[in-house]
Structure 1
Amino acid sequence: FLAVGVNLFYFCIIIYLYGDLAIYAAAVPVSLMQVTCSATGNHSCSVGDGTKYNDTDKCWGPIRRIDAYRLYLAAFTLLLGPFTFFNVQKTKYLQIMTSLMRWIAFIFMIILALIRISRGQAEGHPSMAQLSGIRNLFGVCVYSFMCQHSLPSLITPISKKKHVNKLVLLDYILILAFYSLLSFTAIYCFRNDTLMDMYTLNFTNCEIINVAFIRYFLGLFPVFTISTNFPIIAVTLRNNWKTLFHREGGTYPWVVDRIVFPAITLIPPVLVAFCTHDLESLVGITGAYAGNGIQYLIPAFLAYCSRKDTQLVFGSGTVNKHLSPFRHTFWIVFVLIWGFSCFMFVTANIVLSEPKL
């Protein structure tokens, strides 16, 4: 890449991380609000019963649900925001614990949904197709590419990369199977109008599971996992800002390095979360715009430029035994067209849908 390409790369990464932080900053207060607020006196059993609550409904006494959400957001910011001003290191065991909790939560949700379906208590009756959902589908699908974050850690330790293509294919098949299992059990277990943006909250209903510990574990699952990831992503975003403006041999003044960069990292996503807690829209927008650039546009241009550079360095007759089956230029063009389609569909979804933000 030339300097312009590198800057665009950092720009996409920064916007994507901002979207991540905004989603995280909204998800934790939403989960806490849903679990702790009570419109019927026992919210731990009613949050997933299909009842739709408005932001103006009472939470505790005179406190409205939206007020509780913003109080939780303020507490979340005050507790985790300061980590943005420091470096986060030695997170190995923290990430292991987070991954373990994710696996436990996912397995719980899949098993509980399958049990409910097997007992004939499933409420979901999905239609064969719903064209109105295509627009937002693109953004959500792009955002699901987060599974690719783990691919380098799978490929790097492999010394003999003879079968690396098969291993990557197997990895993607397993990811697709897991996504499909979680998604299809959800759409057949719950009615479409009762499915919540935060899927874990659907399992806080006593009719789904009468074990209080599991209900609260799933209801508060985003609080535990997202709270551990928020500081790491915030520090990553701050460092990307520093790299974007870094000049060879230059250093930043203390105020810029320690105050300005952390502040511009933390304040925008918190403001977005303060204005909206519509997770579906946040995920769709983040995936369709920043995620689109990261997954489709930048890799396509990078592959094209890398192939040209390789031919100049090694000559056109050199054969790479690790060539991708998608090495033809057609696939680069196809990816660019697909990325542009995602951009157009989600933009149409934002323009045509009733605004919720």
Structure 2
Amino acid sequence: MNEKTGFTYVQSTKRMPQTDRYPPWVGLVYIFNLIVGTGALTLPAAFAAAGWLFSTFLLMFLAFISFVTVTFVIESIACANATMQWRKIQAQELNHAEIRADSESEADNSNEETAILRVNRRYSLYRIDTKVELGEIAALYLNKFGHLLFFSSLCIYLFGDLTIYAAASGKTIVNLICINANETEDYSSRCFHFSDMAKIDMYRIFVAVFALSVGPFAYFNVQKTKYLQLFTISIRWCAFFIMVTAASIRLVNMGQQGHPEMMNLKEVPALAGSSVYSFMCHHSLPALIAPISDKNRIMRKVSYDFYLICAFYLLLALTGSFAFAVVDDLYSLNFTYDDDSNLFRKIIGFFLVAFPLFPMSTSFPIIAITLQSNLKNLVLKPTVRPNLIVNHLVFPTLAVVPPVVMALCTHNIKYLVEITGSYAGVMVQYVVPAILVIEARKQCAKDFGSCVHKYSSPFRHRYWFAFVIVWSVISLIFVTVDFIWNK
């Protein structure tokens, strides 16, 4: 039983088998691919709108803050491993401490041995060999309010993620089959020459088709296979490479088409939300870090990922901002082919516009299953097991239907990303890791007398915690004022 939350904590973690481990470079590739996903397609539009010079510095700043909180998560995982192992050792000692000799000398020796054991094991217990999910860390260290904050934030973020996927799929199909127009956001125009049906009607039809096609998989225990993941990654990186190359060629052949401002503070909330969404990996880190075989200097190795990702985002956003007069909310739609294009350009254009459909289709059920699991943690007591109908019908429906309904109501992906990234994303990426690491340090200091170890974040000073929290508050105020101002 967790003393702070009152929840019964069942240790479900397992030490990673040796056969499931992989070298550090593989883990870094997985982290890279986890971060650079469909969210990267929403970045160029926000980047161009906020001003290319200001956006460049802000993007680097947000990448740095994201890395700071990643180190918080890694330290929290190591602390959770240490806490769980220490409690297991204490339980074993209590089980073996049947009535011993009552001599005072033996008691003193026992206390002395226990103290020496605690000092010797202080650092050896800090490991990341066991996968401990963030929900389990929250159960270890947070009180009831913290537990509620964690799962609420994660559920809202996953809800927004599913909504963005559903909306992006509908927009993608509309731009594949409807009449091409210079203004892709004009959804009141006709979709076909031979019909009066508007784009918005076709968009809603395609969102419903997408939901009916992939939504039912959320009602089953679907797992992403290794080969499906590798195929998805290959398609994604092929598309990103072509987009950067095509935008660069466009700049060389046609010159500068886009003329973004140097700074536009009005669009900063959209860029902040898109950046948070594009750097999100924190909730999945335990599953990727634990199997790494050599975790020496793991934080330095992860920092290399963030350098590369930030550089790639800048390349993608800068080329897109200057190559296109108008950057679409979903960047891949800027490569829509026209009737005058040659066959090769039509094939490339079709591939770039259509490619988000595959990763979104494979990821949607996985995220929906993750959402329903977190919904159970949020609304059910740990001792309560839902019946068959609630478990296999109610929760999957709650995970799939509301995001689809929200996507049917709006096709504005910029707005959805801004909400998801600036509210739920800020909580999941900034606030929760900061609170977790502070509480983990307190508990480890209480158990071991010190909480400094090889997995400690280099940003250990309390000023860094205050910095992250203050920036989170500023972000939330900024985006709220922007919504009120533009309402």
Q: Normalising by structure 1, what TM-score?
A: 0.90
1:324 aligns with 2:457: yes
Deviation at 1:246, TM superposition (A): 3.6
Determine which of 136, 144, 149 is the counterpart of 1:8. Answer: 149
Residues 136, 345 of structure 1: 8 Å contact kept: no
Distance 1:213 1:147, change over 3 A: farther
Deviation at 1:239, TM superposition (A): 1.4
Instruction: Give the match for residue 336 of structure 1.
Output: 469
Alpha-carbon distance between aligned partners in 2 of 1:52 and 1:229, rounded to the nearest angstrom: 25
Instruction: Give the match for residue 202 of structure 1.
Output: 334
Alpha-carbon distance between aligned partners in 2 of 1:324 and 1:10, rounded to the nearest angstrom: 24
Residues 30, 69 of structure 1: 8 Å contact kept: yes
Distance 1:273 1:118, change over 3 A: same
Alpha-carbon distance between aligned partners in 1 of 2:301 and 2:337, rounded to the nearest angstrom: 40
Alpha-carbon distance between aligned partners in 1 of 2:457 and 2:404, rounded to the nearest angstrom: 41
Deviation at 1:54, TM superposition (A): 2.6
Determine which of 407, 414, 431 is the counterpart of 1:273. Answer: 407
Instruction: Give the match for residue 227 of structure 2.
Output: 93
Instruction: Give the match for residue 172 of structure 2.
Output: 31
Distance 1:261 1:27, change over 3 A: same
Alpha-carbon distance between aligned partners in 2 of 1:351 and 1:168, rounded to the nearest angstrom: 38
Residues 187, 200 of structure 2: 8 Å contact kept: yes
Alpha-carbon distance between aligned partners in 1 of 2:417 and 2:466, rounded to the nearest angstrom: 26
Q: Which amino acid aligns with 1:3?
A: K
Deviation at 1:53, TM superposition (A): 5.5
Deviation at 1:147, TM superposition (A): 4.6
Give the root-mean-square deviation of aligned CA atoms: 2.0
1:307 aligns with 2:441: yes
1:348 aligns with 2:478: no
1:294 aligns with 2:428: yes
| Count of residue correspondences | 342
Deviation at 1:321, TM superposition (A): 3.2
Residues 138, 345 of structure 1: 8 Å contact kept: no
How many percent identity over aligned positions? 43
Alpha-carbon distance between aligned partners in 2 of 1:176 and 1:113, rounded to the nearest angstrom: 18
Deviations 1:153-196 (CA, angstroms, capped at 9, x unpaired): 653344443322321111110111111111111111112xx211
Q: Normalising by structure 2, what TM-score?
A: 0.67
Deviations 1:90-142 (CA, angstroms, capped at 9, x unpaired): 53222221111110110000000111112243302222211222232222222
What's the secondary structure of 2:191's corresponding residue?
strand
Deviations 1:10-66 (CA, angstroms, capped at 9, x unpaired): 11110000000100110001111112111xxxx3xxx4xx33553221113121111
Alpha-carbon distance between aligned partners in 2 of 1:195 and 1:208, rounded to the nearest angstrom: 20
Residues 160, 416 of structure 2: 8 Å contact kept: yes
> Which sits farther off after the overlay, 102-111 or 235-244?
235-244
Determine which of 371, 374, 377 is the counterpart of 1:240. Answer: 374
What's the secondary structure of 1:27's corresponding residue?
helix
> Which sits farther off after the overlay, 23-32 or 136-145?
136-145
Deviation at 1:349, TM superposition (A): 1.9
Deviation at 1:226, TM superposition (A): 0.7
1:108 aligns with 2:242: yes
Residues 337, 350 of structure 2: 8 Å contact kept: no
Instruction: Give the match for residue 80 of structure 2.
Output: none
Distance 1:6 1:148, change over 3 A: closer
Q: Which amino acid aligns with 2:237?
A: W
Q: Which amino acid aligns with 1:59?
A: C
Deviation at 1:324, TM superposition (A): 2.0
> Which sits farther off after the overlay, 22-31 or 4-13?
4-13
Q: Which amino acid aligns with 2:330?
A: M
What's the secondary structure of 2:258's corresponding residue?
coil
Distance 1:34 1:255, change over 3 A: same
Deviation at 1:150, TM superposition (A): 6.4
Residues 175, 184 of structure 2: 8 Å contact kept: no
Alpha-carbon distance between aligned partners in 1 of 2:403 and 2:185, rounded to the nearest angstrom: 25
1:19 aligns with 2:19: no
Alpha-carbon distance between aligned partners in 2 of 1:233 and 1:142, rounded to the nearest angstrom: 18
Deviation at 1:6, TM superposition (A): 1.6
Instruction: Give the match for residue 188 of structure 2.
Output: 56
Q: Which amino acid aligns with 1:33?
A: V
Distance 1:208 1:337, change over 3 A: farther
Alpha-carbon distance between aligned partners in 2 of 1:149 and 1:114, rounded to the nearest angstrom: 34
Alpha-carbon distance between aligned partners in 2 of 1:228 and 1:96, rounded to the nearest angstrom: 12
Distance 1:163 1:34, change over 3 A: same
What's the secondary structure of 2:327's corresponding residue?
coil
Distance 1:248 1:68, change over 3 A: closer
Residues 150, 432 of structure 2: 8 Å contact kept: yes
Q: Which has the larger radius of gyration?
A: 2
What's the secondary structure of 1:211's corresponding residue?
helix
Residues 184, 328 of structure 2: 8 Å contact kept: no
Deviations 1:249-308 (CA, angstroms, capped at 9, x unpaired): 432122211221111111111111011010000001000111111011111111111111
Deviation at 1:76, TM superposition (A): 0.9
Residues 257, 323 of structure 2: 8 Å contact kept: yes
Alpha-carbon distance between aligned partners in 2 of 1:150 and 1:114, rounded to the nearest angstrom: 33
Residues 168, 330 of structure 2: 8 Å contact kept: yes
Distance 1:305 1:64, change over 3 A: same
Distance 1:247 1:143, change over 3 A: same
